[in-house]
A and B are shown apart, each in its own frame.
Chain A
């Protein structure tokens, strides 16, 4: 602005920027102070949970040693306490959930962004978001009462004809005239994993769809103009563009699957054993273990449960951080800059 006055009267003078007072108004100082305080309080609350859980590892390891990580049983009365079975079970349930939900989420995301009629797109996106908002206990009930009887017939079929693959074998006579479906096939890792998949699908699908929708239209039209089929456009433009979103959505879903409590607790029959037979009844996850055992515990067992919780938290934290890295690194992130 000062150039306007620097006319012929003062040709020699150098232009100097008008000094701006960068100090804050008193009211803004208060505002910044309060905002900083809120930030600090939230940091304290959230950070203290992680710290608190982490600190519980010390007394637990002191009491049970490194066997805490290798011991399978959870028998506090005989001083056998370990999370090995629960951690393996957690990963089995998550593996089933991810195997089923990621293809489904991918197909749903592709359907909504590429195939769905324009009028249906909005409602379908809402439906997927609603699916994420449905409480997990309702999925648990649905899985237990409606889903389980049907799925058990399919898992029985798989165990009858594919039992040469160890995870698919079930310890029962599959050709017996009356197969005890309820006692051998209900409450298995697979059924729990399938119900958890219902909760993973909307999370993964929302991320994937968001990324697919931002695939550049110019490249799509270019592919169409070169004679690509609809699948050709998806394969050569949409999927490569959305790779970060696909990986990120999968990891985000994995984080959810690892931490799911109540649906798993409603469905599985708790068995403290490393059970690789995913179709067979009986499993346990860390979260379900905590929910099942918190009430009857002494302080020492409580700190063991907290330590188990910390192990779970550490795993989900790493998974989510990796997911966040992939999602922000995908090209789609550039579009949020305004």
Chain B
């Protein structure tokens, strides 16, 4: 991309005959000046801005004044389509065909990317914007919904039990799925053999397991067949069943890219295989493993479907994962939305903001860890 003597190529608009530039051989004294590939000419900019304004005006007249349409969303869509048409026509007046296609594709690709980025940013901002009604009340963090009616004002009740429940459930789930997941990854990459390949195939296949089925499996076996109560423990088991393949798979990917030379060097120095794994492979991959774990936790903490089937919703404070139902943030949000009460929905948005905040913190931690150099603590 940074070649010095590229002939007239992508962005040489304004020169109708593009092959001419190829004859301008390097001048011996002035030296080669790299042709800037990514910059825009004045023609590019004027065509773009002119088309944007022109299509906006055209759409306004046609859409708002002449045709029986209304609505902001429709206006934006029509503007974009009219813009694409106008931009193509204007480009075709002065540019050769490949450049017209190039401009059109550029506009389409930018449009698609902007839609995606706007969608994700709007999700984040809308959640916090809607959640602010509940978030500004301190009792929202310290109280429970015990004895508070769904229609009660936001100055009463809160989600402390759901926050605590989520943390307890995810801690149990991590303490089950982390050793098993990383152990499996070590087994697959460091021990190997036919059995390891079978395990790998099955684990890979189980990452396809829809989250609801993890919940249904635990609901049927633990709660219906074995008679365990609806409890935080059952929810944690369901979560760990769901997270186990995800953590195992991503940990395996991390371990696989540890350079083989490090292993061989360690073995050549006389270390046993166990010492190699414990002193060389795992420390080298520490940052990657942490990222895999944290992303697995971020995935598990927001899962609603397994929790919905196994934990049971409670309004009271419960620290015991083995008895009595235990509420969690996703479940609280779900109940709030299904209730249809304005105040309760506001609480649901508040809980969604807290949940999203947790996920954001986990995510940023994972990113920071991943960026730090491997092998250093």
Chain A residues within CB distance 8 Å of chain B: 24-25, 27-28, 30-32, 34-36, 38-43, 45-47, 49-50, 52-53, 103-108, 110-112, 114-115, 124, 126-131, 133-142, 144-146, 150-151, 153-154, 157, 198, 201, 205, 217, 220-221, 224-225, 227-234, 255, 258-262, 266, 287, 290-291, 294, 299, 302, 305-306, 309, 312-313, 316-317, 319-321, 324, 336, 338
> Do B216 and A309 touch (CB < 8 A)?
yes
How many pairs of A and B residues are in contact by the CB < 8 Å rule? 297
* CB-defined contacts of A205 to chain B, threshold 8 Å: 116
Ordered nearest first, which 9 A-B pairs have the shortest CB separation?
A: A135-B302, A259-B210, A107-B112, A38-B183, A111-B113, A320-B208, A229-B102, A31-B274, A35-B187
Hey, what's the 0/1 contact readout for B1-14 against A, CB within 8 Å counting as 1? 10100111111000
Task: Identify B241's interface contact among A49, A133, A316, A319, CB under 8 A.
Answer: A49
> Do B106 and A46 touch (CB < 8 A)?
no
Interface size class of B (residues with CB under 8 A): 35 or more
Q: Cβ of B94 < 8 Å from any Cβ of A?
A: no
* CB-defined contacts of B106 to chain A, threshold 8 Å: 115, 230-231
Q: Cβ of B323 < 8 Å from any Cβ of A?
A: no
Please, could you name 14 A-B residue pairs with CB atoms under 8 Å apart, sorted by A? A28-B274, A45-B241, A52-B220, A106-B112, A108-B117, A134-B359, A135-B359, A154-B73, A224-B9, A225-B3, A261-B211, A294-B309, A312-B210, A336-B256
Task: Identify B102's interface contact among A141, A232, A255, CB under 8 A.
Answer: A232
With A45-B244, A146-B122, A287-B305 known, 11 other A-B pairs at CB within 8 A are: A31-B272, A39-B183, A45-B180, A133-B295, A153-B73, A154-B73, A157-B69, A201-B116, A225-B3, A290-B216, A305-B216
Task: Identify B205's interface contact among A53, A225, A317, A336, CB under 8 A.
Answer: A317
Task: Identify B109's interface contact among A40, A110, A129, CB under 8 A.
Answer: A110
Smallest Cβ-Cβ distance to A222: which chain B residue? B3
Smallest Cβ-Cβ distance to A258: which chain B residue? B210
A305 to B272, CA, bound (A): 50
* CB-defined contacts of B98 to chain A, threshold 8 Å: 229, 231-232
> Do A38 and B180 touch (CB < 8 A)?
yes
Given A28-B274, A36-B187, A142-B123, A287:B212 Cβ within 8 A: yes
Which of A43, A105, A150, A198 counts the most chain B CB atoms within 10 A? A43
* CB-defined contacts of B3 to chain A, threshold 8 Å: 221, 224-225
Task: Give the interface SS of chain A, mostly helix, strand, loop or mixed.
Answer: helix
* CB-defined contacts of B277 to chain A, threshold 8 Å: 31
A134 to B101, CA, bound (A): 36
Q: Cβ of B219 < 8 Å from any Cβ of A?
A: yes
Least CB distance from A228 to B in Å reads 6
Task: Identify A338's interface contact among B9, B120, B196, B260, CB under 8 A.
Answer: B260
* CB-defined contacts of A231 to chain B, threshold 8 Å: 98, 101-102, 105-106
Task: Identify A115's interface contact among B18, B110, B259, B309, CB under 8 A.
Answer: B110
Q: Cβ of B108 < 8 Å from any Cβ of A?
A: yes
A129 to B333, CA, bound (A): 23
Smallest Cβ-Cβ distance to B22: which chain A residue? A227
